[in-house]
A and B are shown apart, each in its own frame.
Chain A
Amino acid sequence: MADVKMVNLTIEGRTVAVPDGTSILEAAKAAGVLIPHYCYHPGLPVAGVCRMCLVEVEKAPKLAPSCATSVAEGQVVHVHSEKALEARKGVLEMLLINHPLDCPICDQAGECELQDYTYQEGRAEGRYRDPKRFNPVEDFGGDVVYVANRCILCTRCVRFMDDVAHDPVLTVAERGDRALIGKFEGEDLTHPWAGNVIDLCPVGALLSKDSLNKARAWELDRSASVCPHCSQGCNMIVETRDNQVMRLRPRPNEAVNKYFMCDHGRLNYRWMNRQDRVDVPLVRQAGVLASADWEIALRAAAALLAGKRAFVLASPNLSNEALFLLGRLAKKTGGTGAFRVPQGAEAPLPGVEDLALRADRAANGRGAELLGFTRSETPLSGLGAGDVLIVADEELAQLDASGAAKAGAVIVIGTTLPAWARHAANVVLPIANCTEEEGTFTNLRGRVQRFLQAKAAPGVARPSYFVLGDLLAAAGEGSGFWTAGQTFDALAASVPAYAGLSYDGLGLRGAMTQGALAGASA
Chain B
Amino acid sequence: MGFPHKPHERETLVLSKHFGEQEAIGLDGWRKRGGYVALQKALSMTPAEIVAIVKESGLRGRGGAGFPTGVKWSFMKPGDGKPHYLCCNADESEPGTFKDREIMRWTPHSLVEGCAIGAYAIGAEVAYIYIRGEYTEALDKMNAACKEAYAAGILGTNAMGTGKTVHVYVHKGAGAYICGEETALMNSLEGRRGNPRIKPPFPAVAGLFGQPTTINNVETLVAVPHILNNGAEWYKKFGRPDNPKSTGTKLYSVCGNIQRPGNYEVPMGFPFKDFLYDLCGGPLPGRQFKAIIPGGISVPIQTREEAENSPMDYEGFVANGTMLGSGGVIVIDDAQNLVKQIARAARFFAHESCAQCTQCREGTAWTTKILERIVAGDGSHEDLETLLEIGENMTGKTICVLSDSCATPVASGLQKFRGDFEALIKKKKVHMVPAQVA
Chain B binds chain A: yes
Shortest Cβ distance from B357 into chain A, in angstroms? Answer: 5
- What's the Cα separation between A46 and B355 when bound, in Å? 16
Most buried by B among A62, A93, A155, A177: A177
1/0 contact string of A145-156 vs chain B (CB within 8 Å):
000000011010
Q: Which A-chain residue is minimally distant from B380 (CB atoms)?
A: A129
Q: Is the CB of B358 within 8 A of A52?
A: yes
Q: Is the CB of B359 within 8 A of A175?
A: no
Which residues of chain A come closer than 8 Å to B359, judged between CB atoms?
Answer: 51, 90-91, 94
B134 interfacial contact with A, CB 8 Å? no
Q: Is the CB of A175 within 8 A of B352?
A: yes
Q: Is the CB of A48 within 8 A of B198?
A: yes
Which residues of chain A come closer than 8 Å to B136, judged between CB atoms?
Answer: none
Q: Is the CB of A130 within 8 A of B361?
A: no
Summarize B's interface: helix, strand, loop or mixed.
Answer: helix
B169 interfacial contact with A, CB 8 Å? no
The segment from B5-13, B393-401, B417-425 found at the interface with A is B393-401
Which residues of chain A come closer than 8 Å to B408, judged between CB atoms?
Answer: none
Name the one of A93, A98, A130 contacting B370, with C-beta atoms under 8 angstroms.
A130
* Contacts A130-B370, A176-B364, A177-B362 given; does A51 touch B398 at CB 8 Å: yes
Name the one of B198, B354, B393, B397 contacting A175, with C-beta atoms under 8 angstroms.
B354
Q: Is the CB of A153 within 8 A of B397?
A: no
Q: Is the CB of B358 within 8 A of A174?
A: no
Which residues of chain A come closer than 8 Å to B357, judged between CB atoms?
Answer: 49-51
Shortest Cβ distance from B389 into chain A, in angstroms? Answer: 8
A49-B399, A68-B198, A94-B363 are known; give 11 further A-B pairs, CB within 8 A.
Answer: A49-B358, A87-B397, A90-B393, A130-B370, A130-B373, A155-B356, A175-B351, A176-B350, A177-B350, A177-B355, A177-B362
Closest 10 CB pairs of A and B: A90-B393, A179-B355, A177-B365, A94-B362, A130-B369, A49-B356, A176-B353, A48-B198, A62-B396, A68-B198
* Contacts A94-B362, A130-B369, A130-B370 given; does A176 touch B355 at CB 8 Å: yes
Most buried by A among B358, B366, B398: B358
Which residues of chain A come closer than 8 Å to B429, judged between CB atoms?
Answer: none
Which residues of chain A come closer than 8 Å to B365, judged between CB atoms?
Answer: 176-177
Q: Is the CB of B358 within 8 A of A177?
A: no
B46 interfacial contact with A, CB 8 Å? no
A508 interfacial contact with B, CB 8 Å? no
Q: Is the CB of A94 within 8 A of B393?
A: yes
Which residues of chain B come closer than 8 Å to A98, judged between CB atoms?
Answer: 362
B416 interfacial contact with A, CB 8 Å? no
Name the one of B351, B366, B386 contacting A94, with C-beta atoms under 8 angstroms.
B366
Shortest Cβ distance from B99 into chain A, in angstroms? Answer: 26
**Sampled A-B contacts (5; CB under 8 Å):** A90-B389, A94-B366, A94-B393, A130-B370, A176-B350
Q: Which B-chain residue is minimally distant from A61 (CB atoms)?
A: B396
Q: Which A-chain residue is minimally distant from B364 (CB atoms)?
A: A176
Q: Is the CB of A127 within 8 A of B386?
A: yes
B392 interfacial contact with A, CB 8 Å? yes
A460 interfacial contact with B, CB 8 Å? no
Q: Is the CB of B397 within 8 A of A51?
A: yes
Which residues of chain A come closer than 8 Å to B351, judged between CB atoms?
Answer: 175-176
- What's the Cα separation between A65 and B357 when bound, in Å? 11
A54 interfacial contact with B, CB 8 Å? yes
Q: Is the CB of B358 within 8 A of A95?
A: yes
Q: Which B-chain residue is minimally distant from A67 (CB atoms)?
A: B198
A63 interfacial contact with B, CB 8 Å? yes
Q: Which A-chain residue is minimally distant from B349 (CB atoms)?
A: A176
Q: Is the CB of B362 within 8 A of A175?
A: no
Which residues of chain A come closer than 8 Å to B178, judged between CB atoms?
Answer: 175
- Residues of chain A at interface, number, CB under 8 A: 35
Name the one of B361, B382, B386, B390 contacting A176, with C-beta atoms under 8 angstroms.
B361
- What's the Cα separation between A177 and B350 when bound, in Å? 7
Which residues of chain A come closer than 8 Å to B352, judged between CB atoms?
Answer: 175-176
Q: Is the CB of B193 within 8 A of A63?
A: no
Summarize A's interface: helix, strand, loop or mixed.
Answer: loop
- Residues of chain B at interface, number, CB under 8 A: 33
Which residues of chain B come closer than 8 Å to A175, judged between CB atoms?
Answer: 176, 178, 351-355
Which residues of chain A come closer than 8 Å to B370, judged between CB atoms?
Answer: 130
Which residues of chain B come closer than 8 Å to A62, judged between CB atoms?
Answer: 396-397
Q: Which B-chain residue is minimally distant from A68 (CB atoms)?
A: B198
Q: Which B-chain residue is minimally distant from A153 (CB atoms)?
A: B355
Q: Which B-chain residue is minimally distant from A176 (CB atoms)?
A: B353
- What's the Cα separation between A147 and B355 when bound, in Å? 18
Shortest Cβ distance from B309 into chain A, in angstroms? Answer: 29
Those of A35-58 within 8 Å (CB) of chain B? 46-52, 54
1/0 contact string of A166-184 vs chain B (CB within 8 Å):
0000011011111100000
- What's the Cα separation between A344 and B336 when bound, in Å? 72
A482 interfacial contact with B, CB 8 Å? no
Shortest Cβ distance from B401 into chain A, in angstroms? Answer: 11
- What's the Cα separation between A50 and B369 when bound, in Å? 22
- What's the Cα separation between A87 and B390 when bound, in Å? 10
A420 interfacial contact with B, CB 8 Å? no
- What's the Cα separation between A63 and B396 when bound, in Å? 8
Shortest Cβ distance from B268 into chain A, in angstroms? Answer: 27
Which residues of chain B come closer than 8 Å to A177, judged between CB atoms?
Answer: 350, 353, 355, 361-362, 364-366
* Contacts A130-B373, A179-B361 given; does A172 touch B396 at CB 8 Å: no
Which residues of chain A come closer than 8 Å to B176, judged between CB atoms?
Answer: 175
Q: Which A-chain residue is minimally distant from B386 (CB atoms)?
A: A127
A72 interfacial contact with B, CB 8 Å? no
Those of A101-146 within 8 Å (CB) of chain B? 127-130
A97 interfacial contact with B, CB 8 Å? yes
Shortest Cβ distance from A320 into chain B, in angstroms? Answer: 47
Shortest Cβ distance from B172 into chain A, in angstroms? Answer: 19
Which residues of chain B come closer than 8 Å to A171, judged between CB atoms?
Answer: 193
- What's the Cα separation between A63 and B362 when bound, in Å? 19
Q: Which A-chain residue is minimally distant from B356 (CB atoms)?
A: A49
Which residues of chain B come closer than 8 Å to A153, judged between CB atoms?
Answer: 355-356, 358, 361
- What's the Cα separation between A99 and B369 when bound, in Å? 16
Q: Is the CB of A63 within 8 A of B397?
A: yes
Shortest Cβ distance from B188 into chain A, in angstroms? Answer: 13
- What's the Cα separation between A234 and B178 when bound, in Å? 42
- What's the Cα separation between A48 and B359 when bound, in Å? 12
Shortest Cβ distance from A261 into chain B, in angstroms? Answer: 29
Shortest Cβ distance from B198 into chain A, in angstroms? Answer: 4
Those of B315-367 within 8 Å (CB) of chain A? 350-359, 361-366
- What's the Cα separation between A48 and B351 when bound, in Å? 21
Q: Which B-chain residue is minimally distant from A177 (CB atoms)?
A: B365
Which residues of chain B come closer than 8 Å to A52, judged between CB atoms?
Answer: 358
* Contacts A94-B366, A130-B369 given; does A50 touch B399 at CB 8 Å: no
Q: Is the CB of B198 within 8 A of A46?
A: yes
Name the one of A47, A91, A130, A178 contacting B366, with C-beta atoms under 8 angstroms.
A130
- What's the Cα separation between A54 and B358 when bound, in Å? 12
1/0 contact string of A11-46 vs chain B (CB within 8 Å):
000000000000000000000000000000000001
Which residues of chain A come closer than 8 Å to B397, judged between CB atoms?
Answer: 51, 54, 62-63, 87, 90-91
- What's the Cα separation between A46 and B200 when bound, in Å? 13
Which residues of chain A come closer than 8 Å to B386, judged between CB atoms?
Answer: 127
Which residues of chain A come closer than 8 Å to B364, judged between CB atoms?
Answer: 176-177
- What's the Cα separation between A68 and B200 when bound, in Å? 9
1/0 contact string of B82-105 vs chain A (CB within 8 Å):
000000000000000000000000
Which residues of chain B come closer than 8 Å to A47, judged between CB atoms?
Answer: 356
- What's the Cα separation between A482 and B390 when bound, in Å? 64
Which residues of chain A come closer than 8 Å to B355, judged between CB atoms?
Answer: 153, 172, 174-179
- What's the Cα separation between A49 and B362 when bound, in Å? 13
* Contacts A94-B358, A177-B350, A177-B361 given; does A172 touch B393 at CB 8 Å: no
- What's the Cα separation between A130 and B371 when bound, in Å? 11
- What's the Cα separation between A47 and B178 when bound, in Å? 17
Q: Is the CB of B193 within 8 A of A172?
A: yes
* Contacts A175-B353, A176-B352, A177-B350 given; does A51 touch B366 at CB 8 Å: no
Shortest Cβ distance from B200 into chain A, in angstroms? Answer: 9
Q: Which B-chain residue is minimally distant from A54 (CB atoms)?
A: B397
